[in-house]
Every structure is written in C-alpha cells, then in structure tokens.
Structure 1
Amino acid sequence: MRDLGLRKWQSLSLTATFFIVLLCFLLFHSSDFVRSGDRRRILLKPPTSHSEREKLEQVLSRATMPDRTVILTMLDEAWASPGSVLDIFLRSFRVGEGTERFLDHLVIIVMDAEAFNYCRSLHPYCFYPSIFSHYLRSIAQSTTSPDHNVYIWKRNYVLLQVLELGYNIIFTDADVMWLRSPLSHFHPQNELSISCDLSSYEQSGGNAQDGGLFFLKSTAISIEFFKYFNFMKVLYPNSRASKSLCSYIVQSEDVVAAYGFRIQYVNTTYFGEFCHRNKYQFREVYSMHANCCEDLRSKVHDLKLTLHDWINSRARSSDNYTSKPEAFRWRAPKMCLI
C-alpha cells in the first residue's frame, strides 16, 4: 500500500514538473520575456561549448582515480594568492596522514583568470571555465546576497557537468584541512555521502551546516536530482534551503524519496568545523572546516593555527609523548570567533 502511494506521488510530481517546465518554456519564448529575461535563460541552461567540455574531460581524465573518482574544489582570486587559503589547503594534503597521494587526483576549479594563473604555478590540474564570467554576471543580478549565491551557482554547475561526464566527485571546500583520508567513510552504493550538522538546523532557522566535504556518485539518479536541485534554485534563488546542500536535502525528503536518491549521513565526529570550538579530538578528526568565519585574514590565521596544532600533535604521538591524545586541544578557531 505504501509503495502504491509512493508511485502515485511520483506520478503527480512528474506531472507537476512537466507543467512547470512547459510554463518556463513558454515564458522563455514570449517576446516580452526574451527582451527582459535573457539572463534567466542562462541560469537554467548555461552555455557550454563543445571544446570547453573536452578540455574539462581532459583534465578530469588525467586526475581521476582508477574508479573514475576525482577530488574537486573551487576558489577565486581572494583565496588563490600568495599566503592565502590555497597555499594552506595544498599544504594540508602534504602534512596529513596518508593524504599527499590525493594531490594527484585534485582538480581546482577557479572563478577568475587571476586565480587560474596563480593556481597553475602551484598545481597541475587547474581549470577555468570561460563561460563563468558571463554566467555569473547574470546570476549576480538575480540574487540579494551575491557572494554566497554565486559560489553555489558555480559549484552546482560544475558538479552537474562532472557527473554528466561519468565521474564520481569528492567535493571539498578549499578552507577544509585534509588531516586524514576520508575515503573509508564514503560508501559508493549511495549517491551522496555527507556530514550534516543537524543539531544546528533548528537553532539557525533551517540552515544545516556541513563539514565542507562530501562524496557524489555519478548515476542517472544523481544527475537528475541535481538538475532538479538547480532548477529549484532558479525558481527560488534566495531560498534558505538552496544555500546549503544539507539544508536542501533535509527540507526535501519527499523529493529525495521520489528520485530514489540514496544518502549516507557521515558521523560529524570525524568532520570538524570551526562552528563547534574544541569539540573534536585529534585522534578522531579527519578534516577541519574553517566555517563560521567570514573575514579572510582571520580565516587564514586560524587555518595556519590548525595545521600547526596538527603537526605538533603528530610529532608528539610519534615521539611517544606521555600525554594522552585527548589532552591536546585545538587552539583554533581563535580570531574567527572574536
């Protein structure tokens, strides 16, 4: 009986989606909308040249793991400059426990030409989609908080493109320190493995924080789900739910079920974040996310502090330091919470 009800709901949902798409199609082709709404057409389906798609495929094919998994991150000029976030991010792979090998599988998507030039001086797999400048000018005009929304637009666009090319994705924000390999916590039978701080959901008015690191499997289901996710962001560009993948999936349980989109919620104990000061133990944490920190100078300071504490804790452990690992405490965040 339950399966029958679900199938009925799916049928109604697909019918409703069809009429919404049809309505959008008619609006796109009305003369008034064409004169005033070219940018919305771009939001729904950004132009992708065949040559650019080939270039992306070439970068991904060089960086992929044997199972067609790549690690992706995104940043702009502010984060990709000497002494800024990108330098610390790459260093975390080199000083992490068993993480240096992942640099061979890391693709850095940059948002502007300046970031691209700096990225290429540090890392072999940097990609700058040329359509971004036009695409994001259009997006910035349609949102009330362009900085964060523009980032989400670009990230979702990249994720969908890579999924359609048949690559699995480990997406990481660039302000995440890779301290240990997270692969053991990602189970490939699920479309999505993600760490969501559901305890913050009610306290923050419906905004569930994530650990800045998640795994996406390339399947027909995940591709269609992200198409729908992106489409809903077009309809509701400033919705709280569309600003965070965790928030969206929490608020869209019916959509998740209808698509058969399988989600694994990873234990937040292993994926640290600055939002919860001193909650995480050195012996347990796999990554540390510098969220709850808008000021770039403070973020860089506390990321450096995080790596310094991590290096010291490993050195003490290797030297049979008498104190237990539980006795160590992160000094960061420090400036981020002042």
Structure 2
Amino acid sequence: MLSGSNQSSRRNLNLKTEDFIKNMNGLIKNQNYNHFIALFLLFLTLLCGFIIYNPVTFKAFSPFQYHTRKAKAGQKDELGLALAEASTESRTVIIAVVNKAYVEGDDKSMLDLFLDSFWHGENTRGLVDNLLLVNADHASYERCRFLRLHCYKLETDGVRFDKEEVYMSDEFIKMMWSRTLFLGQVLKRGYDFIFTDTDVLWLRNPFPRLSLNKNVDLQISTDQFNGDQWSKNNPINTGFFMIRSNKNTVQLFDLWYARKDKSAGQKEQDVLNGMLHEDVFTKLGLRVGFLDTLYFSGFCQDSKDIRAVTTVHANCCRTISAKITDLSAVIDDWKRFKRSAINETSTFENLKHQACAHSWGK
C-alpha cells in the first residue's frame, strides 16, 4: 500500500506528465516545429555532455588520448612506464639516446639510418619493440612519438642538447655524462640493457653473439680487438655494450659518475677505461667480456667478413654527416650481400670510410 504522501506525489507527477504531453501536442498541432526541434536538440546536447564528461562513470574523450601516459597514484613514474613498455619478459631493454641533430637531416637522419638497419637486418625487426629511445630535447621527443616508438624525454637542468655536439667538445662531454647518470638509474630499477649509439647499424640480432652467462656482468665493444675476450688491454668503446643489473654494476655506475667533476677534459669512456686499468672492476667483483670486432665491427677496425658481422659502429669518425655518408655505404653493401647468391660474396666493398677520414680535418 502507498502512503498518503506517496499517492499525492504520484498524482502530481501524472498531472505534470499529462500537462507536458498536452503542451507538446499543442506545439505540434500549432505547427511550432522549430520550437520542438530546438527543445529536442537541447535535450540531446545535455545528454551527450553528461555521458562524455561525467567524471564518475565516463572519461573525457580525446582523439589523441593514446599520447597521454601520466602516472597515477600507485603506478610507475614516466621512466618506469617507459621501461616496462619496452622491456622483454626477462626485464631487458635496448636503449639509445638521441637529440635534434640525430633526428633531422637534409635527406636521411642518423635515426632514420639506424632504424633502417633493423628493417634490413636479419632477425632484427622485432627488436624495435624492445627499443627505448631516450630524447635529450623536445624536437627529438616529438619525432620519436611520431614514429610510434617507445620514448622517454630526458630532462637535464640548465643544459640544452638540441644541436650537434662535435666529438670532444665541452657540450659533447656533458651529454655523455648525462647519459651515464641516466643509465645508472636504469640499472637501479632492476633492468638489464643493451646500450647502443644510433651510429651503430644492427645488421643481425646481437643476442646470439652475446654471452647468456649471468656471471658475465658487462660485455662491451672495442675499437681494436686483441684476440682475447677477457683481456682488459682491449680499448673499450661505450657506444655498444650489454650490462646486467646487480649491486656491483650499480656501484660501478655510481663510482663512474662520481668521477665526473674530477675528470675535466675527459669523456666518460676515458674515465671508465681508467677505472678498468685501476682494477676497480676487479675490486667490485665484476666479470667483463670484450666483444670481437669480427662480429661487433666498427670503422676503427673493420670486420672483413660480411657473413659474420652483427653490428657496425661509425667510431673513429667526427661528424654526423660523415657518419651518415659512410654508414649508408655499409647499408648498400649489406643489401647487395642479401641479394647475392649463397657464398657469392663474403666481404664489404666500401671500407675506406672516406667521409669519416676527412671529417677530422674540419
């Protein structure tokens, strides 16, 4: 049974409904269609507004919503999200650092050439899914987002890395140290990674050539390989290396970066090489492997065997334009090799690297 007040409310609601229907019928009968349509459109507008913007049940719609990756309470921060998105199941990431100078060019940029190598390489296309591109300025970040890669914008207080930093210039050295600090943070988050400069062509998947032994903490490329993969007399190159995250490698990067202010005029690679010869690695209990240039080649010491080469680094070269010119020649040789019959060719043809040789005179 309904109470008296409920019955009265129901009668009032019925009367109001009847009045509304009568008024609407009157509008229609009087041909006031414009008023009717206006009321109807207003109703639809209010309804759509409620559906789209109701903060309780719906999220505001945006066609660019996929660009937003803000950390919510209890979630990872921006770096944590970027690493998680790029990581393999075993928490391994491929990391490269770029700035505006590396993503722009008259014809082809360094980044374009770097990504081309993944496209033309053997078993390398899928590795782009595990590539995290660290952007030193806004222009390179925008380019990275446009290419739909995994991107992270590296903020460095008071420093702008938005132009080409010529080898061994003051800004070049600052950029290298900024990179070292960042990579140390990645290790502290428990991620193993391959670091690669973008002037390294990935012609084959490098993982089969890298040791899977977890007791090997660091595997690093060399400018001149002396034949012994465990010899610290190999001159190291920090443009390509694989490192495992553990307390010893974290401590190594902390000690390495701590030497920044006491190493004026030295790039971070020189400082690390000094630590190697001071037996800092040994004292930390680190096992280091040095990569054979037969497989991890570079312009300082070319691999003559195109059937074995895995990566090619434009080391011993001063400018970006020279690197692009000579690496493009390597890509051309690689394409020729892939088109050729089995065993028809086994060597690179363009090993003079003339643009890089001339870059030192600039």
**TM bucket normalised to smaller:** 0.7 to 0.9
Conserved in 1, the CA contact under 8 Å of 2:326 and 2:356? yes
Cα separation, 1, equivalents of 2:350 and 2:311: 13
**Pair 1:109–1:53, CA change in 2 (3 A):** farther
Q: 1:63 maps to what in 2? A: 86
- The one-character-per-residue Cα deviations of 1:118-168 (angstroms, maximum 9, x if unpaired) are 1211132111123x142669xxxxxx8313312221211111110111100
Q: Give the RMSD, CA atoms, in angstroms.
A: 2.8
AA in 2 matched with 1:284: A
Q: 1:229 maps to what in 2? A: 256
Secondary structure of the residue aligned to 1:72 is strand
Secondary structure of the residue aligned to 1:243 is helix
Percent of matched pairs sharing the same residue: 28
Secondary structure of the residue aligned to 2:239 is strand
**Pair 1:159–1:245, CA change in 2 (3 A):** farther
Gaps of 5+ in 2: 1-71, 162-167, 227-232
Deviates more, 1:163-172 or 1:190-199: 190-199
Kindly state the Cα deviation for residue 331 of structure 1 after the two structures are TM-superposed: 4.3
Gaps of 5+ in 1: 1-49, 138-143, 201-205
- The one-character-per-residue Cα deviations of 1:32-82 (angstroms, maximum 9, x if unpaired) are xxxxxxxxxxxxxxxxxx999710110110110111000000111101115
Q: 1:181 maps to what in 2? A: 205
The within-5 A match list for 1:149-298 is: 149-187=173-211, 188-197=214-223, 208-210=235-237, 212-239=239-266, 242-244=268-270, 247-253=273-279, 255-276=280-301, 278-298=302-322
Q: 1:330 maps to what in 2? A: 350
Cα separation, 1, equivalents of 2:91 and 2:331: 30
The within-5 A match list for 1:31-180 is: 54-82=77-105, 83-130=108-155, 132-134=156-158, 145-180=169-204
- The one-character-per-residue Cα deviations of 1:278-301 (angstroms, maximum 9, x if unpaired) are 543101211000112212222111
Conserved in 2, the CA contact under 8 Å of 1:185 and 1:266? no
Q: 2:8 maps to what in 1? A: none
Conserved in 2, the CA contact under 8 Å of 1:168 and 1:215? yes
Kindly state the Cα deviation for residue 211 of structure 1 after the two structures are TM-superposed: 7.1
Q: 1:31 maps to what in 2? A: none
Cα separation, 2, equivalents of 1:281 and 1:100: 22
The within-5 A match list for 1:11-30 is: none
Conserved in 1, the CA contact under 8 Å of 2:225 and 2:292? no
Conserved in 1, the CA contact under 8 Å of 2:204 and 2:311? yes
AA in 1 matched with 2:357: L
Secondary structure of the residue aligned to 2:241 is strand
Q: Higher RCO, 1 or 2 (CA under 8 Å, sep at least 6)? A: 1
Cα separation, 1, equivalents of 2:153 and 2:320: 22
TM-score where L is the length of structure 1: 0.73
Conserved in 1, the CA contact under 8 Å of 2:223 and 2:298? no
Deviates more, 1:106-115 or 1:209-218: 209-218
Cα separation, 2, equivalents of 1:245 and 1:72: 21
TM-score where L is the length of structure 2: 0.68
AA in 2 matched with 1:221: N
Cα separation, 2, equivalents of 1:76 and 1:332: 28
